[in-house]
């Protein structure tokens, strides 16, 4: 898989209120069509050739294949429902259109990928707030964003899955070795929260026991559902405070 080159950029994020940051201008307006995000970045999705491992292909605005996205789709074949694979491809296409438009590398180191993701979210009208205690960002949709909170959560699930698939890679019979296509940790996860989760599990009583044994300190479901994502979705759409409230908070 061809590697991408990174791009240096200065990213400014205007403060809004109560710690939220967003883009005050240059918001790319998508649209809602039956609840689906209509891409504003000129991406195309077509059916792959008959007999090809690529049942779907994503092309950029110049009709060139988007290699990393198409390869992750191929590698995910047979894992989960085909509809999930198609959905993930659809919700990731606008994000890759944004990366290509700004010459941002999809395979940059995690710190940069998180910056690119924050910029993308603001470009489509979302706002973010840093949670310094948990080392994550809270993300909220706004009236300008083409995504509902549920669709935004789906995007993050797809992005986490994309990097997991490429990190896992595949066996290359030609070179007789295993190939991983992303050389870093998954940028969509918080390493701090992952470490906290590992530490927590070490102290769970009888952590290796099955739930039916009745001796485990907490259920496996509860252990697995401790969130470790670097971005968390706020369930309510963000509304800017009234001017009167802003003036009160300043005075």
Tens digit of each residue's pLDDT (9 = 90 or more) over 118-146: 999 999 989 999 887 777 889 999 887 77
Poorest-pLDDT segment among 16-25, 73-82, 122-131, 205-214: 205-214
Q: Quote the radius of gyration of the chain (alpha carbons, Å).
A: 20
Poorest-pLDDT segment among 25-29, 37-41, 155-159, 182-186: 25-29
- For 93, phi and psi rounded to 5 degrees? -60, -45
Q: Mean pLDDT for the chain?
A: 77
Which residues 6+ apart lie within 8 Å of 35 measured at CB? 148, 151
Count of beta carbons in the 10 Å neighbourhood of residue 250: 6
Query: Given this model, what pLDDT does residue 116 score?
Result: 96
What is the pLDDT averaged over residues 26-32? 50
Higher pLDDT, 114 or 215: 114
What is the total residue count of the chain?
251
φ/ψ region of 214 (left if φ > 0, alpha if ψ in -120 to 50, else beta) reads left
What is the pLDDT averaged over residues 47-71? 90
Higher pLDDT, 17 or 8: 17
Query: Tokens 């080392």 belong to which residue?
Result: 135
Query: Given this model, what pLDDT does residue 100 score?
Result: 94
Beta bridge partners of 56: 47
DSSP 8-state assignment for residue 146: S
Q: Where do the domains of the chain lie?
A: 20-190+230-250, 191-228
Higher pLDDT, 215 or 33: 215
What is the pLDDT averaged over residues 72-78? 89
Query: Given this model, what pLDDT does residue 208 score?
Result: 58
What pLDDT digit, counting tens, does each position of 192-207 carry? Answer: 655 655 554 555 455 5
Q: For residues 38 and 32, what is the distance between their CA atoms, to the nearest angstrom? A: 6
Pick from 31-35, 177-181, 194-198, 243-247 the range whose average pLDDT is largest.
177-181
Residue 209 · residue 29 · CB < 8 Å: no
Q: For residues 66 and 76, what is the distance between their CA atoms, to the nearest angstrom? A: 16
Q: For residues 113 and 41, what is the distance between their CA atoms, to the nearest angstrom? A: 19
Higher pLDDT, 166 or 135: 166
The alpha carbon of 206 is separated from its chain's Cα centroid by a whole number of angstroms, namely: 34
Q: For residues 222 and 157, what is the distance between their CA atoms, to the nearest angstrom? A: 19
Intra-chain end-to-end CA distance of the chain, in Å: 56
Q: Which helix (H) or strand (E) holds 46?
A: strand 44-47
- For 169, phi and psi rounded to 5 degrees? 65, -145
Query: Given this model, what pLDDT does residue 248 score?
Result: 54
Strands 31-33 and 20-21: unpaired
Q: For residues 246 and 251, what is the distance between their CA atoms, to the nearest angstrom? A: 9
What pLDDT digit, counting tens, does each position of 83-106 carry? Answer: 899 999 999 999 999 999 999 999
Query: Given this model, what pLDDT does residue 182 score?
Result: 95
Q: For residues 24 and 115, what is the distance between their CA atoms, to the nearest angstrom? A: 17
Check pLDDT > 50 for residue 36. Answer: no
């Amino acid at each position: 898989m061809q590697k991408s080159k990174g791009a240096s950029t200065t990213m400014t994020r205007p403060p809004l209120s109560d710690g939220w940051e967003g883009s005050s201008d240059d918001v790319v307006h998508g649209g809602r069509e039956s609840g689906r995000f209509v891409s504003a970045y000129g991406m195309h999705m077509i059916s792959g050739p008959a007999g090809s491992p690529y049942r779907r292909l994503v092309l950029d605005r110049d009709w060139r294949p988007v290699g990393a996205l198409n390869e992750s789709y191929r590698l995910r074949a047979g894992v989960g429902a085909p509809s999930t694979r198609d959905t993930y491809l659809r919700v990731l296409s606008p994000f890759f259109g944004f990366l290509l438009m700004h010459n941002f590398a999809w395979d940059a180191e995690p710190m940069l990928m998180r910056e690119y993701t924050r910029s993308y979210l603001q470009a489509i009208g979302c706002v973010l707030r840093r949670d310094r205690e948990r080392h994550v960002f809270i993300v909220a949709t706004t009236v300008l964003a083409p995504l509902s909170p549920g669709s935004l959560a789906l995007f993050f699930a797809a992005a986490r899955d994309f990097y997991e698939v490429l990190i896992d890679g595949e066996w290359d019979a030609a070179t007789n070795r295993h190939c991983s296509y992303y050389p870093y940790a998954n940028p969509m996860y918080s390493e701090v929260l992952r470490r906290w989760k590992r530490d927590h599990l070490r102290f769970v009583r009888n952590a290796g026991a099955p739930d039916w044994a009745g001796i485990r300190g907490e259920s496996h479901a509860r252990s697995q559902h401790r969130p470790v994502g670097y971005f968390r979705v706020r369930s309510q759409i963000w509304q800017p405070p009234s001017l009167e409230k802003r003036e009160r908070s300043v005075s």
